[in-house]
Amino acid sequence: MKRDNGFILIVALVVMAVLLLLGIGASFLGSTNVQVARNVSLQAAVRAQAEAGVDLTLARLNQVDPANATQILYKNWPCWYNSTTKTSVPAPTGVTFTVTITALNPSVTPPTCTSGVATNSDVPIVVKSVSTIGDSTWSSEAVVMNATNTTKNKPEFDRGIVTNSNLKCPGTCNFRIDLQAGGDITATGQSTLGDYRALYDASSNKKCTFGGEVNSNVCIPSPPPTVPAPVFESQRSDLIKAMGMTYTNATTAPACPTLMPANTGITSCTALATGTTTVTQSYSNAIIVLPKGANVTFSGTLDNVIVIADSTATVTFNGTNPSTTKAALNNVQVASGTINFSADVSNVPQTVGSTGGTSTTIAGSAFYAKSGYTFGKNVFGNDTKASQTLLSSEGSITLNGNGGASIYATLWSGGAIDINGTTSNWLFRGTIAATGTITANGGVDYMGRPEGGVRIPSVPRVPTPGNIAILSRK
């Protein structure tokens, strides 16, 4: 019996020892799991904070610069990033990180800031954010660069009919296009705007009235527009340079280029020696250079042709439309002091009118004149080319003509624009920008924007802020 009691005691002690070991093991495993969970939580938190530092920095780099709406803060980062304190990107409450910005290539000239102006700031950069919580540290970084900035048309050239002065329609105008004026907008008769708006400068006590518009909300106070005046010599210079020729001065005819400009289709260049002449030959894919003070009439057709003259020259076009589907002047660019067109014209691709051989129609072309224009309303007659056709003048532009007539173009004037004549089936598709008063004396049956907007490279453009490009992230 005593022997059995001893055995039972030994078994009990063994069982108790096993239970103790199990308890100790369970306790150890529990504390280990808690520590692992804590470490995982810390790592997640510290990583999230480091990533937040990179994200917030990228967001700031991509913001529009308050001091210059045409660029993003990337362009000026050396001036707002403090490399000493590294506090240029503040962390939200409860979040801690330190951000550094450095050039990706250490061999390039370091970006700097002098008197508030950043230099060499367009190089690719490394944004690095480090966060620490207790013994846990995490580092995140991104390699970024400033994406190429783009440009867009100056708003005054896309909006509709815009003038720094007054806009008047003494007759009846059916506008289906936005209007903007720095002066009064006055449309009498039964003039309407439909779903469009008239923007006027109410702060200067200007007025906006529409005789036939029942919607009183069509007139909206707005800051005045700032239509720039075209500068003929700058336009002529740009055209010369675009053709690969050397611009010398305002009165010197450029020499033909040795190599024709790439990606233009131009295959030849002709320098006319005679100052006063009528050119009956038709040209295509060519540059034509006129001597100083030339007076040249083109009676043939021109297709993908550049005509360059000086501010004292006169160029006249009175060629015949070769067919009902092709214009006499197609994809033509002309710079001349004075530019004249046939007085009576017809539509393309619509049926050529009774004027027959005396009609000249222009499609997809740009004309730059020093003096003003006076011509028939139907000279720009191709609806499909409305977004690509420009008539520019430092002076005023006057459109005459009666009956059914149309114009498809953008008009840009450094003076006034007058639209005269009667309104029967008269329509305009395009945009108008003028520094002087715009007047539709006879009224207009329809005025609307061109399909696809204005796609003319030579109208004034403004840069867009652009965006950053993220090259890599880790």
Q: Rounded CA gap, 157 and 154, in Å?
A: 6
Per this entry, what is the length of the chain? 474
pLDDT over 70 (residue 2): no
DSSP string, 385-440: GGGG-EEEESS-EEEE--SS-EEEEEEEESS-EEE-S--TT-EEEEEEEESS-EEE
The CA distance from 313 to 448, in Å, is 34
Please give the angle made by the CA atoms of 136, 142 and 145, to the nearest 5 degrees: 160
Which residue is listed with tokens 């289709």? Answer: 265
Q: How far apart are CA 231 and CA 311, in angstroms?
A: 11
Query: In angstroms, how far apart are the furthest CA atoms of the chain?
Result: 146
Question: What does the alpha-carbon distance between residue 458 and residue 237 come to, in Å, rounded to a whole number?
Answer: 12
418: Cα separation from own chain's centroid: 28
- Higher-scoring residue by pLDDT: 381, 265: 265
- 172, amino acid identity: T
What kind and span of H or E run contains 52? helix 2-61
Q: Give the CA count within 13 Å in the CB-facing half-sphere of 428.
A: 24
- Amino acid, single-letter form, for residue 60: R
For 415, the token pair is 């003076």
Per-residue pLDDT of 201-241, as tens digits, reads 888 788 888 876 655 678 888 899 999 999 999 999 999 99
Mean pLDDT of 269-276: 89
Task: Reduce the DSSP state of residue 28 to 3 states and report it.
Answer: helix
Most confident by average pLDDT, 185-189, 239-243, 459-463: 239-243
Q: Which residue has the higher pLDDT, 308 or 78?
A: 308
User: How far is the C-alpha of 42 from the C-alpha of 137, rounded, in Å?
Assistant: 9
Identity of residue 194:
G
> In this predicted structure, what is the pLDDT of residue 346?
37
pLDDT, tens only, 427-438? 788 899 999 999
Average the pLDDT over 334-338 and give the result.
Answer: 94
Q: Structure tokens of 312?
A: 């004292």
Predicted pLDDT at 152: 77
Q: What is the mean predicted confidence (pLDDT) over 356-373?
A: 69
- Do residues 333 and 306 make contact, with C-beta atoms less than 8 angstroms apart? yes
Closest listed residue to residue 468, CA positions, set 55, 110, 155: 55
Domain boundaries, the chain: 59-150+465-473, 153-462
Strands 117-119 and 112-114: antiparallel
Distance CA 365, CA 333 (A): 6
Checking DSSP bridges between strand 64-65 and strand 68-72, what pairing results, if any?
Answer: antiparallel
How many angstroms separate the CA atoms of 368 and 378, rounded?
A: 19
- 3-state DSSP assignment of residue 263: coil
Mean pLDDT of 398-403: 68
Region 165-182 average pLDDT:
89
Give pTM, 2 decimals: 0.71
> What pLDDT does residue 381 have?
59
Q: What average pLDDT does the segment 110-119 reach?
A: 81
More confident residue, 315 or 326: 315
Strands 136-146 and 125-133, how do they pair? Answer: antiparallel
- Report the b/e string of 267-298 with b at 16+ CB within 10 A: eebeebeeeeeebeebbeebbbbbbeebbbbb
Tokens representing residue 192 in the block: 């309407």
Give the C-alpha separation, 198 to 242, whole Å: 37
Task: Measure the CA angle with vertex 461, ends 451 and 287; round to 5°.
Answer: 80
- pLDDT surpasses 80 at 271: yes
Contact between 361 and 379 (Cβ < 8 Å): yes
The Cα 360–Cα 341 span in angstroms is 7
Say which DSSP state 111 is in: P
